[in-house]
Amino acid sequence: MSELRWNPLLGTWTMVASNRKHRPNMPKDWCPFCPGEGKHVPDDFTVFSYDNDFPALTQNPEPPTVDSTGFYKSAENYGKCEVILYSPRHNVKFYELSVHHLVELLNLIAERCTELSKDKKIKYVYPFENKGEAVGVTMPHPHGQIYGYSYVPQKLEVELMNSKKHYEEEGRCLICHINETELRAKNRVVYENDSFMAYIPFFTDYPYGVFVAPKRHLGYLSECTAHERADLARLLKVLTQAFDELFHMPFPYMMVYHQRPVNSPEYEDSKDYYHFHIEFYPPFRDANKIKYYASSEMGAWAAANTSAVEETAPVLRKLIKDILARD
């Protein structure tokens, strides 16, 4: 069974994807993401994308369930799910890839986002990466995913709403304002270059919840120039290395790309008030200590950060400074 079910309490859709429970854990002696091993993966590639074998969303959906009471509503789980392979090397770390390689990866993600947006039934395109068993990863080969939703997910709706409100009240983009504020404060910025900056914002949920934002007002990754993509690649490279050096262990995280909606006339003016950025959600607060998203966070959306970011940002900033000095 695969469909969308409407949650009348929250006013949003839940994806039902029973096929996802059949996803395999990777056998010890075989990886379907390695060159020539999986049914989709070529013998030779640098970066590569293909349709997910266990999609939560599909462009060929089954008819949804009709609720017998007539109260609940459902819809087709229309959309697209793709896998993005970062490298043919099974055990390579993100930061071990060259800047040139990472630019190719960013180019592929941007190209796939543009291609998915050509489907007029898709309203939001969402690239992301889950890294580490702590966030549920079953395939350790470096990879990410892209979801194309037939609706704008609720968290993005809330960001868009508050960004528009800020624009109407202040006459400026909210992320641009946050960028300027963090640069002025300085103590929460962990890295910046010509085009991008990384900081642990004043309000983040996670002790090391870094935001990465372009300094120029952009709505999509695809709008970045070649120079900006190279700068983004350099930033992500050094940041992910610093994460691993933080507790001297592979550091798990969720990395998500927040962009403007597509094919959505109601958000056409979001080009003025919404700003592309990347958010990291790293679950560890200390070595082998998870900062759980527990009852308050999940049940009430009342986030609690166990560390003040003014304490954690200097630690990450020094690690990045030391890494750059070694290079």
Delimit the domains of the chain by residue range.
2-326
Long-range contacts of the stretch 106-109 (C-beta < 8 A, 24+): 106/221, 106/224, 106/229, 106/232, 106/233, 107/229, 108/47, 108/48, 108/49, 108/84, 109/84, 109/144, 109/146, 109/221, 109/257
Q: Which residues, 6+ apart, have CB-to-CB distance to 113 below 8 Å?
A: 125, 127, 146, 220, 221, 222, 259
Q: What is the pLDDT of residue 284?
A: 87
Return d(Cα 272, Cα 63) in angstroms, integer. 38
Contact 189, 320 (CB under 8 A): no
Fold of 2-326: HIT family, subunit A (3.30.428)
Residue 307: DSSP 8-state: S
205-243: b (≥16 Cβ within 10 Å) or e = ebbbbbbbbbbebbbbbbbbeeebbbbbbbbbbbbbbbb
Q: Which residues are catalytic?
A: 143
Burial group, residue 70, by CB count within 10 angstroms (0-12, 13-18, 19+): exposed
pTM (global) more than 0.85: yes
Return d(Cα 106, Cα 236) in angstroms, integer. 11
**Ordered per-residue pLDDT tens for the chain, 327 residues:** 789 999 999 999 999 987 655 565 666 778 999 998 878 999 999 999 999 998 999 999 999 999 999 999 999 999 999 999 999 999 999 999 999 999 999 999 999 999 999 999 999 999 999 999 888 888 899 999 999 999 999 999 999 999 999 999 999 999 999 999 999 999 999 999 999 999 999 999 999 999 999 999 999 999 999 999 999 999 999 999 999 999 999 999 999 999 999 999 999 999 999 999 999 999 988 888 887 788 998 899 999 998 999 999 999 999 999 999 998
Q: What is the pLDDT of residue 135?
A: 87
Contact 126, 257 (CB under 8 A): yes
CA R_g for the chain = 20
Q: What is the pLDDT of residue 286?
A: 83
Q: What is the pLDDT of residue 24?
A: 59
Q: Tell me, letter by letter, the H, E, C secondary structure of 119-133.
A: CCCCCEEEEEEEECH
Contact 304, 291 (CB under 8 A): no
